Amino acid sequence: MKQFAIDMAYKSLNHYGEELCGDKVEIVDKEDSRILILADGMGSGIRANILATLTSKIIATMMYNDMTIDEVVATIAKTLPLSSINGVAYSTFSIIQVYHTGEIYVAEYDNPECILIRQGKLKALPFSYRKIEGKKIRECRFQTVPGDALAIMSDGCLYCGTGDIMNYRWDWNALANCCETCADKTRTAAQMADMMNKACADLYGGLCSDDTTIAVARIMEEEIVNILTGPPQNKADDARMVQDFMKQEGIKIVSGGITSQIVARELGTRLITSVGVLDPEIPPTAKIEGIDLVTEGVLTLNKAIDLLEQYQQDEVSEEFFEELSRDNGATRLACYLMENCTTVNLFIGKAINKDYTTKELPFEISVRQNLMKRMQTVLTAMHRTVHVYYY
């Protein structure tokens, strides 16, 4: 049985004139699940940021240690400082815990209701309600299916309007309809969160009267991507390297001119070069029967890794996704690793190509090998399972 993989991301807008956001998001990785937490501190600015940060950190730490929502809420109620003005101090919160088996747990306090999009349509969640420490908690458990998209948000997402004028046509249902559209037009959690957040920013006219955060979880079945790059150190290992690569399940990508020649030869098939539209910056792709993507080596890998690092560091914007939509070997490779991937098998040949060797590096390390170390690092940070095989 395939396990479920979970893609999580968020995007925030600060209250106009504030340097700090009063919303805080935490993503927690456990052996059996991933947890997405959004806390919204009362007010705005530094005070709200402190309240939200304390709340999100408490929830993250306690849920990582398998404590119940009752224990979490009780601790938050006892920990947060009280306002000297009204005696109130709290941060609202939303929690989504997605288990790799496909079970989902949602718990919310005073935030807008979680949105679930399934098969392109809004689906009601089976919420029940109870009080913990005097706070009304909304929670549910259900089984996910591949393709589900869930969105949680701070209340700034519902109060979108320009100046002192609220847009009364924009409510939770309108936001849910927006969520449907964004889920349909995007593949990743980051792209969906960015698109929804931009819709809110447009309604605010760029001047947000409240902190505004969208956090998204997208569910998919486990998908394996296999990448083969670089000739083996010993030519006698050509056949073994290709055999090990081809026997793997999942998507197969070959990167490098010499590497693709080796693969074509060992498979007894033709290497067809210059496939598709030419890009002025990235060398053209090629084609080998039985291989999903064949690219040039160092230049293409470097660009693809740059895109992955931007994505992982949340340096994404509309311009980033426009760049990603360009049809070349680097963007196609990056998209495979962002959108269709939970596990990556890297098959790396250790032969040195003299054209890619720099004097500043130890002689046994090639530019390609350094690139693959960067790829391992960024894929691990993206919560992909990475296996590496050297030849």
Digit-coded pLDDT (tens) for 110-120: 999 999 999 99
Domain boundary among 152, 186, 221: 221
| pLDDT (0 to 100) of residue 82 | 63
CA–CA gap between residue 61 and residue 211 (Å, rounded): 24
Query: How many domains are contained in the chain?
Result: 2
DSSP string, 249-266: -SEEEEESHHHHHHHHHH
Domain boundary among 162, 188, 221: 221
Paired sense of beta strands 343-348 and 224-229, if any: parallel
Q: Indicate the Cα dihedral angle 175, 176, 181, 183, nearest 10°.
A: 120
Asked if 152 and 261 sit in the same domain, the reply is no
Asked if 212 and 230 sit in the same domain, the reply is no
Asked if 230 and 216 sit in the same domain, the reply is no
Asked if 27 and 74 sit in the same domain, the reply is yes
Asked if 67 and 202 sit in the same domain, the reply is yes
Asked if 162 and 254 sit in the same domain, the reply is no
**CATH number of the domain residue 124 falls in:** 3.60.40.10
Domain region containing 323: 224-390
Whole-prediction pTM? 0.77
Q: Beta partners for 287?
A: 272
State the pLDDT confidence band at 281, using cuts at 50, 70 and 90: confident
Q: Which residues contact 57 (CB under 8 A, 6 or more apart)?
A: 26
Asked if 124 and 210 sit in the same domain, the reply is yes
Lowest mean pLDDT among 134-148, 199-213, 355-369: 355-369
**How many residues does the structure list for the chain?**
391
Asked if 177 and 191 sit in the same domain, the reply is yes
Dihedral sign of CA atoms 125, 130, 136, 137 in order: negative
Lowest mean pLDDT among 90-94, 198-202, 217-221, 278-282: 278-282
CA–CA gap between residue 261 and residue 91 (Å, rounded): 59
Give φ, ψ of 376 to 5 degrees: -60, -45
CA–CA gap between residue 39 and residue 55 (Å, rounded): 6
